[in-house]
Structure formats: structure tokens, C-alpha cells
Structure 1
């Protein structure tokens, strides 16, 4: 908290949330690779707490009003300096006046709709924060406090299995099947691979989950792919008629729900990537998009 002229601000601001020590926290990476533990809130939940204003060095503080804002914003890293706010609520905490000793000011944003889940990606960040502003004649003093938000969705009404055939003419023909196409974040992916024709020497088979993040729009559209997990499901050459079972537990991975065209700024999609590697290290692969969603934890 410094002024435009580099002087230390004459006031300390502390934002305290009701029951925050009993609340679940989420570790979030900051810009400098450090981590911060942010309190977790849910869509529709109230944000309630107090702001403590403490003048420094026993001096009185003249101000032109104190306010607190609850803000939801999207930051695109290629467009630094521009934050796109999709939520902005304001409460006045104090009228213009002076503060001689520490003052505690209550605030509450009731039953706030938080339509998007928090997200910190490669090229984009969606975040929620509380911002306290002590308005002063020369320069305002501002303190921000971050929150993390999860949103729940009902399980999909339809959730069809994925069945596909992949082949190279007269060389390879396989069928693969996954039990469904939509999974909650603690779910299990169950499937199988059936080899109908094998005339190439396969060395091993691996399955991976890939996250693809798309930000911006043409001509400034950026795509980043990140492998969440990769594991070998078969070592050695399969034979005709062989079936490989697949069972992948999702609970231990750093997954988010699937995000599609969030505020027309970004999307995050997931793919199952099946790869066969032959003895000459040639790779044969097939990707299938799957959907992740969040349900309440027990």
C-alpha cells in the first residue's frame, strides 16, 4: 500500500472473513510461483466479515469515504492491464470523516450468485476478490483479499458410452470403449481396448488425459495443451482378439470442470488420448473429448 509519490500509506487494512479458519482452503499458485491458501466459497453463498482500519503511528486519518467491493474478473495474460469484470458489487462502509484509532467495519454480500468457477490456467485466470478502498485526497489506499469459488452442477441426464473403431488398412484394427462420456472429478474411467487385427509390432500402449485451454478470439487466439496424467496400459505386442481393460481413478489428479466459452473469453476442454507405439517408435493415436463436472463431496 503505497501512494503515487512512494510514501508508505498511513493506514493498515485487514479483511477478516467470518468462520474462515473452519472453512476449507484451496492452494493457488501466484505469479511468482508461490502458493496462497484461499478460503473456498460456493455459488449462492453469502460473503460476510469485517474490515479493520488502523491508522499508523497514532496519527488521525482523514478520508473521503471507505468502501468494499466484491469482484469477479477474468484476466487474459496476453492482454495484461485489461481485467474483464463479470461481477461487481459495492457497499459503503463509512462516510467521509476521520479515524483516530482502530475501527472495525462490518460487511455482508448476501446470497451472491457466482456463476463461474475460479480457474488459474496457463494463459487465463478467473478470480474473485474483495477490494477495500480508503478514499483520500492525494491517493486512495487499497487492500485486496482473494477468494476461491467452486460451482456444482447436476449430473447429466444422458451419459452415453464412447465406442470407436480405429484402423490402418490391412495393418491395424482396434475397437475401444469407455463406459461414459461425462465424469465427475472423483469418478473412475472404465473401458477396454479390443484388438481385431494386429500386423504391426506394437511395443507398448499408453493412455493420457490432456487439458486444452483456449483463450481470446481470432486473430488473438491462443491454445495450450497440458498432459494431466499419462500411464502405460500395455507393455508388449498384443495379439488378435486380445482385450485390455482400462480403469483410471480421477480423484488424485489436478482436474477442473470442463469450461465452455466462459464469458466469451476462454474454454477448457479435456481429452482421452490413446497412443500405440511400435518398435520403430512410430506413434498411432486417437483422441476423444470427455466432459468433467463437479458434484458435492461427501
Structure 2
């Protein structure tokens, strides 16, 4: 909207029937964004509906595609990894309503949209009608999401690990694999080989770790995405507890090893046992998450 002179609207093509993805902003508000894939073209139009008898003098009209990383840990840092601009109109005057099409074709959008605790990846379509006075520029923005599917090879390698306290506790736990798609199911079991302490309960947690920076300057921040109690009460020697965790019930993202040298996102399964004196015994194992479909 532009005051009493005109209504200016940014519209994207083919939104009807397009999938959307819901993301939670830092304020807790949920926002739904149209989904594009990493190699998909983006097109749309800038619609200018002029009020009768009005005109807009401008210094040019442009559209931008921006891929942006926001890091909010300690201090706000913003960097753009995609910055493309198209000139839609040269300087002139708009005397009547107009529809101005635009497109961005064959742009590599390699990083997925991500809304984490301290890190974000965003894609923005921005149109600007430039005025002589910069503060009176007419700006419209539309945020989109980019999600990419991958074809991971089938993983048949199970994970088996042991946790032990000499002459007190010896357990063995096993998961069916270490790579899971986001709607997969973790299957496993915990075998109690030796139990000489009284266990109160056992739980499994999915931990998301954002690593900001790299090398000696890297900072890790852990967030518990999900927690699932798998046993309540004291087990005995020889007993085994089955584990079944449906990942689709939780707000998870794929594993990102390196996002433009700014951050990475990894996931861990954390198995925790708590005894009657509230002492905690745990074992952590990294898993790889990937997006099978949209």
C-alpha cells in the first residue's frame, strides 16, 4: 500500500496448490511460507493500482532475490549468500495502473530455510520503487521457504554401544541405523547385562546442536527438541527394553554440516538413566537426519 496515490502489491506465480511450510519465529509466532526447491525458478509480478488522477515519479523499479543468514548469538550478524537484482523499469512516471512481471531462473538456492535457536536462513523477494527521497521508497517483501530433498543410500548399519560402571551397571544399547529421514522411526533396544543399582527411570532425548563458527572459535549450543520416557521402574539383569521413536511427531530439520562457513546443525540421541539417588548416567550418539520428501 502507498498512501492515497496507489496500492502496490507483490504477487508470486503458482501459489495455488503449492505446499507451505510452517516456521516458528523467535517471538513464538508461527508463519507459513510457500515452498520452493533449490533449483526451481521463481516468478511473479509487481501490481501497481493507481488512484484516479494520481501519479508516481520514480528513479527506477527493481526486484531482488536475497538469501540471508542471521546469527543472533551474543550479537546480531547478517550476511547474504544470494543477492540478485533485476531492473524492471527505468526512471520515469507511473500514470496508470500497471502489472510488471519478473523472474529468477536457474538460481542455485543450496541452503535450506532454517529457523533455529540462534541461526536462521531466509529467502526474501523484495521489490522497490525508487524515489528521489530514499526514505519514501516503496518497498514490498515476500518471504519464501526453500526445502531440498536428498537421496540417501539405504542404511543397514546398526549402532551398538555399551555403558558401564565397574561392578555396578553394565548395559548395551542398539539402534537399527544411524541415518534417518525426518518421518522415519528409530527402532532399538536396551539390554541390562548387570544391574546392582536401583534405576528409577530411563529416557531418550533428541538433542539439536548448533555450532556457530568453526575451529577454536566455534561455539556449541544444545537444544532438547524431544524427550521420550522409555522405562519407568527398576530393571533386572537380563531384561531388555524396546525403543520406538517416531520422528515425524517432532519439529526436526535435516543435518547441516556447513552453511556458508557460518554454522552447522547436528543431532544426537541422548540415552539417560536416573537412579533413586537422582544420579544420572548417559550415553550420546550422533545421528544423521535427511529430508526424503516434501
Q: Which runs of 5+ in 2 are unaligned?
A: none
- 1:20 alignment counterpart: 15
Q: With the length of structure 1 as denominator, give the TM-score of the two structures.
A: 0.91
| Correspondences of 1:242-257 after superposition (within 5 Å) | 242-257=239-254
Distance change (3 Å), C-alpha of 1:57 and 1:27: farther
Number of aligned residue pairs: 292
- 2:282 alignment counterpart: 285
| Correspondences of 1:138-287 after superposition (within 5 Å) | 138-139=133-134, 140-156=137-153, 160-217=157-214, 221-287=218-284
Aligned-residue offset at 1:93: 1.0
Q: Which runs of 5+ in 1 are unaligned?
A: 3-7
Q: With the length of structure 2 as denominator, give the TM-score of the two structures.
A: 0.92
- 1:137 alignment counterpart: 132
What is the root-mean-square deviation of aligned Cα atoms in Å?
Answer: 2.2
Q: Could you give the per-residue CA deviations for residues 208-252 of structure 1, whole angstroms, max 9, x where no partner exists? A: 111111223578644322211112111111111111111111111
Distance in 2 (alpha carbons) for counterparts of 1:80 and 1:94? 38
- 1:5 alignment counterpart: none
Distance change (3 Å), C-alpha of 1:75 and 1:9: farther
Distance in 2 (alpha carbons) for counterparts of 1:169 and 1:31? 45
Aligned-residue offset at 1:57: 7.3
Distance in 2 (alpha carbons) for counterparts of 1:269 and 1:254? 14
Given that residues 9 and 141 in structure 1 are in contact (C-alpha distance below 8 angstroms), is that contact kept between their aligned partners in structure 2? no
Match for 1:119 among 114, 122, 138? 114
Distance in 2 (alpha carbons) for counterparts of 1:13 and 1:217? 43
- 2:44 alignment counterpart: 49
Distance in 2 (alpha carbons) for counterparts of 1:136 and 1:37? 32
Given that residues 163 and 170 in structure 2 are in contact (C-alpha distance below 8 angstroms), is that contact kept between their aligned partners in structure 1? yes
Aligned-residue offset at 1:27: 2.1
Aligned-residue offset at 1:11: 4.9
Distance in 2 (alpha carbons) for counterparts of 1:94 and 1:81? 34
Given that residues 155 and 177 in structure 2 are in contact (C-alpha distance below 8 angstroms), is that contact kept between their aligned partners in structure 1? no
Given that residues 37 and 148 in structure 2 are in contact (C-alpha distance below 8 angstroms), is that contact kept between their aligned partners in structure 1? yes
